[in-house]
Amino acid sequence: MKKIKFNQELINLFSKKTGCAIQYNDCPCNTCFHSIEDVDFQHICWLIILGLRGDYPPIEVMENIEKELKLKQ
């Protein structure tokens, strides 16, 4: 998965979680993004870094972020 695709898939996960994709490239708006503050963003940031630097396959990173966002069991 290329980085651009990784970035868009990441944006799509947050859009799905917030129910908002109104901003550029289907990003959620600020208000909707802040509605999910109960999420462990510290761990999600770490997962994103691992994905960007190539430690784990992007699909595995995305699956773990989906679990953190409680979009997937």
Q: What is the pLDDT along the chain (73 residues), one digit of tens a residue?
A: 566 788 999 999 999 999 999 999 999 999 999 999 889 999 999 999 999 899 999 899 999 999 999 998 7
Q: Is 19 left (phi over 0), alpha (psi -120 to 50) or beta?
A: left
CA dist., res. 55 & res. 28, Å (int): 27
| pTM score of the predicted model | 0.84
Report pLDDT for 3: 65
